[in-house]
Amino acid sequence: MNDTDILLDSDYAIKKIMEKYKLNTTVFEKYKPFRSYITIGIWNSLEEN
């Protein structure tokens, strides 16, 4: 992974999590420059369920 600061907020799974917890993209600003890891973490958490 070369870019550690990509939040795929257009991704279906990310959208669903954001809707479920009533989040918007500004909540992820504090995680700059590591938002790619947040995206991966969300995807991994969905695989476990």
1-43: pLDDT as tens digits: 578 899 888 999 899 889 999 999 899 999 999 999 988 998 9
pLDDT at residue 34, as a whole number: 92
So what's the pLDDT on residue 11? 92
What is the pLDDT, as a whole number, of residue 13? 87
On whether the pTM is more than 0.75, the answer is: no
Indicate the DSSP class of residue 12: H
Region of 7 (left: φ > 0; alpha: ψ -120 to 50; beta: rest) is beta
Instruction: With CA atoms as reference, report the closest residue to 19 among 2, 1, 27.
Output: 27
d(CA 44, CA 47): 5
- pLDDT at res. 2: 77
- Is the separation of the CB atoms in 9 and 39 below 8 Å? no
